[in-house]
Amino acid sequence: MALITLGLSHHSAPLEARERLAFTDADLAGALERLRALPGVEEAAILSTCNRTEILTVATPEHEGRLVEWWRRERQVPAGALEPHLFVLRDQSSVLHSLRVAAGLDSMVLGEPQILGQMKQAYAKAQAVQSLGPVLSRLFQHTFAVAKTVRSRTQIGAHPVSIAYAAVQLAQHIFADLGSQTALLIGAGETVQLLARHLKTRGVGRIIVANRSLEKAQQLAASLHGYAIGLNDLSMHLAEADLVISGTASRGYMLTRELVANAIGRRRRKPMLMIDLAVPRDFDPAIAKLEDIYLYSLDDLRAVIAENLKVREAAAQQAEALVADYARDFERWLESRDAGATIRRLRLRARESRDEVLAKARRKLANGESAEAVMAFVADTLANKLLHAPSERLRNSSVVEQAMLLDAAHKLFDLPEEE
């Protein structure tokens, strides 16, 4: 058996191919059951996200072609649609890859933490349908522990490298206490929605959402326990805002110098942080000349992100070294399970049983029992001792484990098929 990973990711496949070959949450349970039922597959798990789909198996190497064919059939794609994007990793390479993925070292955004949560979900799904065994269970647990260690011992995830997160981080630097601040968000697109969630998570005191479509503003505001307004009401509420973030597709300025100067006057010169994420810009650049205004553009944030990426890249070198060490730890565990080590332990246990039975046989002979009776005792007792543990394990195992053990027992003891 080998540890085999078949996969594709943003490194090897365009978005269209990733979409066609991915598994939805609704697909996973049935797909895992069918995958586990393939001849030669003993353990299975599937990780499927917008940026990658990976099939992890403990399987016989000669059945790799069946795995590829199974994936193609499951996603109903024609021959040749999968292979150009596919990578196949075995044993040590598969272990190292899983650890790198969990640590965020293989992600589109270096060091992003979401992939670890997605791997935990993949583990839970496989557990639910009992498609895991000792190797993949151990690998997932090892992977989670290593990812946690990498994040605690390096700066791989400490510096924001997304626009939304960098904007919120900037707000936290400017304001000592976000809980006492009011945020005005202009627009309701994806970036603004993500920003809103970050702000809510960090406990911002109040959120006002302004949008051309009042209905969309109300939908976003409702999810944040905030307040919705139309764009025509911006002038009425601008003075309430300590933090103003905009990301619309407007062709003209949403806020002019005059409008902001008026709001600052009403705020009695209380400072205001303004972040313009729009292209073209939503805020008149002349606003930056006003006192008590801190205005940042998309280019300003990109400069921060570029600097943070340099820090992450330096941290990634430390993380790669850690991951390589922990991958070797898992490889040593795999090696400890190899046939040679297991055979040595089997022989040792058999010798211990033999010696114990022989000692009892000698005592019986010394007590005058017949050689024939003692030979029968030795044969029966030794057979029972050697078969007791496997027999008990077979009786007490779960249905799935029992099926695997029975198959192994037939192979190990070369048992004839029942007629």
Q: Tell me the catalytic residues.
A: 50
Q: Is 274 left (phi over 0), alpha (psi -120 to 50) or beta?
A: beta
Give the residue among 238, 256, 254 at the shortest CA–CA distance from 246: 254
- Peptide bond before 280: cis, by omega within 30 degrees of 0? yes
Please check whether residue 261 is in contact with residue 268, taking contact to mean a CB–CB distance below 8 angstroms.
Answer: no
Give the residue among 186, 192, 191, 174 at the shortest CA–CA distance from 260: 186
How far, in Å, CA of 263 to CA of 260, rounded? Answer: 5
In SS3 terms, 238-268 reads as HHHCCEEEECCCCCCCCECHHHHHHHHHHCC
Most distant CA atoms of the chain, gap in Å: 116
How far, in Å, CA of 374 to CA of 302, rounded? Answer: 86
Q: Is 416 left (phi over 0), alpha (psi -120 to 50) or beta?
A: beta
